[in-house]
Amino acid sequence: MKKIIFILLILVLFIPTNIYASSMIGYDMDTKQILYGDNIHETRSVASISKIMTAILACESGKLDNTVIIGDEINKAYGSGIYIRIGEEMTLRDLVYGLMLRSGNDAAFSIAKYVGGTVDNFVAMMNDKAKELGMNDSTFNNPNGLDDKGGNLSSTYDMAILTSYAMKNEDYKTITGTKKHTVKTNMNYYSWTNKNKLLFSYKYTTGGKTGFTKIAKRTLVTTASNNNMNIVIVTLNDGNDFNDHKNLYERLFNEYEGYDILKKGDISIANLKDKNSYYILDNFKYDLREYEKDNIVVDFDINDVKDTNNKIGEVYVYLNKKELYKTDVYVDETKKVTFWQKIKGLFHD
């Protein structure tokens, strides 16, 4: 066995903040790190942030550009709405805009009926997706988040998982990050402004969803990107939510920076004497603080003989001697590299 170790340098600053939520999480959507957490598995009514689940199921339906004829399902809606009418024609995509920007409960019912066939079937789809994503704290009883039938129950942790998943969908990402959207139908013209105030007041914001019921109180999901990090913050029962989100983003973006520690594809192992090309199949990214800068170690464990799949060893990433990541290393003997190419590869951007 041959082992090669090198150290990665990182820079960051810590800034404290005060938090007022009953439950709160700051979560990196790429690395899956919990950067801040308080009562993250507390299960309670989450109000309209549960519409994130409704939206992602619509986005994954393959029907976003289909025309929906609004039916009497909207008679069940009350509270916030986009005020569509029976017989009105609107694309599913525009209904999702109305759902996410204006928290339309009528839009939620129309989406649920169109995508699920019936509202009850759609609710079953919501719970199936939650189970698929490992949202173990969550139970959905309706597509809108109102407190009917016990409301939709979840935790800040589960809503962070859901949002991380949803933000990988380009349609969802575009819709949730839209500040204003206009729609013309066979019956009306609409101009909607997003209720997520951070989209207008905090430059790093990329999306999110507001929520409120008398039982849930104020709930909020927001996302923001900076310092090579894509973060979601979720708060439940927080009367100061927009300020708390902004303050926590400022803390996390000052305390952490995201680093691409390993990049998939060719990887350099400088002091191996052979000229073979080595590669890995996945990226590894991690958020680190300044005081952790000297404690990241990347360790290659290379065998003398490859297996039948061209695997020839492993690469490990450690922080303070704790293993963060491990992946297989493969060899491509048909592609040769020089010693200087190996050295150069250690210093890629």
Active site residues per annotation: 48, 51, 103
Coil, helix or strand at residue 196? coil
Structure tokens at 141: 């009883």
Using CA atoms of 164, 169, 170, 172 in order, give the dihedral in degrees to the nearest 10.
-80
Ramachandran region, residue 217 (left: φ > 0; alpha: ψ -120 to 50; beta: rest)? left
Strand-strand pairing, 89-91 and 67-69: antiparallel
Q: What does the DSSP 8-state code read for residue 139?
A: B
CB atoms closer than 10 angstroms to residue 26: 26
Distance (Å, rounded) from C-alpha 182 to C-alpha 187? 14
Q: In angstroms, rounded to a whole number, what is the distance separating the alpha carbons of residues 78 and 63?
A: 26
Written in H, E and C, the secondary structure of 91-116 is EHHHHHHHHHHHCCHHHHHHHHHHHH
> How many whole angstroms from its chain centre is CA 90?
28
Q: What is the largest CA-CA distance in the chain?
A: 74
Distances (CA, A) of 11 to 14, 124, 246, 248, 293: 11, 46, 22, 19, 7
Beta-bridge partner residues of 45: 153
Q: Specify the DSSP class assigned to residue 274.
A: S
Q: How far is CA 285 from CA 10, 83, 170, 249, 324, in A?
A: 13, 44, 21, 19, 10
Rg (CA), the chain: 24
Look at residues 180, 174, 157 and name the one whose alpha carbon lies nearest to residue 102. Answer: 180
302 to each of 268, 270, 296, 306, 323, how far by Cα in Å?
Answer: 12, 12, 19, 9, 17
* Residue 327 per-residue DSSP state: E
